[in-house]
Amino acid sequence: MANDNKTKLESVPFRIENPELIPARRYYDEAFFKLEQEQLWPRVWQMACRLEEIPEVGDYVAYDILDRSVIVINSSQGVKAFLNACRHRGVKLANGPGQLSESGFTCPFHGWQFNEQGRCTFVYGRNIFSESLLEQSEIDLVPVRLETWAGCAFINFDNDAVPLRDCLGPLADRIDARHAEKLRMDWWCGTVLPTNWKLAIEAFQEGYHVMQTHPQLHELTYKANRNYGPDADGKAVNENLSAREVANLNADFLARLSAGMDGMVHKTEMEVIEKLRHMELPDDPDLAAQMFYGTTYAEVAKDALARGVPMFDILQVVQDHQFSPVEFTFPNFFLLPMVGAMSSYRIRPLTPETCLFEIWSLVIPPEGDDREPPAEPTMLPYNSSQFPEIPRQDYSNLPIQQLGLHNMEFLRIAKGGEGLPGEGMISNYQRLIDGYLAGLAASDLVDAYQTASGAFDAPIKDIHFKGCD
């Protein structure tokens, strides 16, 4: 097994030999993209829809990933998924969201019909087919594996895949503690980026870009946070700031994050936070910052409960679980918690150099809230001024990064190979991709799956593939 897995890994084109270097051609080579299409996407858990998209029995959505399409439907026996293809001649049965009619899904070509359980209920002209072709198992829709988590339906085309929660590991516990299953959409937008899907992923796996890409955030954190580092003279950045100034800088940061993401810190949370600018504080700036955040978590939760929101104990969760403002779920899904609300990203490949990028603003609503969630994303040009400030800044870099990478493959040669420097999480998930492209068994990849998922800015770690020790 060990030698076999190692041999398989060595066959991957443009594989990562040095964990600190990512070969540039992984981001645009057509053959590499084709290998991802064949070996990665059919074998990984991927978020197909938010459950609030299909709240009633009979509600369905179509989820498309490259050349495959899946129907996710809320059936009377729970949420199910099926290949989006008639068993007769392969015609696609569903496009976008919808509500199943009394006759079920009806193929627009020859009229075959399928119910909410995927059972074929009508075949026109049965007498023209051999009986063996009309065995029920041969004409029912093909089921696709589905599991739910964090208020979402995840699908996997691989029946041998390790269960979703086993793949997520501790990340799932951190997100569950935040009542993610109760989150609902405030808004949902999408765009097509002229960027390889992995570049779009990597823009949110590290905070190193904040200084240049998001200077409005960097300035506030740099001034307010003693742990960010000394200035050029070796003095703490906030050495001359009062406790009140430090607390207000943190409030300014949350306000800028709220406006810049339009929801990562929800507007209802900011109404509470703004009132804390006048709270009593200790004289020590470090203690003042700690007290500000602790009070923020407690007061936001208190306010939410008073408004009928089934809010979790934010302060207790922050104390009990490792906190990160960005949580990545391999291979293409993000949740961004900050206080009680979250933002969320999903990135899907379209071509070697384009991808679909979706953003959600998510909040736990008051009980009994009957607002209709958006049925589909509002699609915008990637350079649209309608995007909030922060994603707009990120989108400005990615297309020119894609263009620049075509010049980079031969510019860096180092021990173990050539490529672009890849910080911790970038290296971790890219090396897991190699495991899938090599065709390693799902059970041999589960430890690496947990390593590649989780909090952003993680260090480069050993990617453990079983059988490769």
- When mean pLDDT is compared across 210-224, 277-291, 337-351, the lowest value belongs to 210-224
Cα(199)–Cα(353) distance, integer angstroms: 10
Alpha carbons within 13 angstroms on the beta-carbon side of residue 447 total 10
DSSP states of 2-68 as a string?
A: HHHHHHHHHTSTT--SSTTEE-GGGGT-HHHHHHHHHHTGGGS-EEEEEGGGS-STTEEEEEEETTE
Please give the pLDDT value at position 229. Answer: 47
Is residue 280 within 8 Å of residue 273, measured between CB atoms? no
Paired sense of beta strands 68-75 and 59-65, if any:
antiparallel
Model pLDDT for residues 281-301, shown as the tens digit of each residue: 999 998 999 999 999 999 999
Please give the pLDDT value at position 410. Answer: 54
Return the percentage of the chain with pLDDT > 90, whole number.
80
**What is the pTM (predicted TM-score) of this model?**
0.93
The model's confidence at residue 121, banded by pLDDT at 50, 70 and 90, is very high
328 beta partners: 334, 454
Return the percentage of the chain with pLDDT > 70, whole number.
93
Cα(402)–Cα(410) distance, integer angstroms: 16
Which residue matches tokens 């998930």?
Answer: 429
pLDDT of 425 > 80? The answer is: yes
Q: Put the strands of the sheet holding 78-83 in their side by side order.
A: 78-83, 68-75, 59-65, 98-99
Residue 210 in tokens: 């904040």
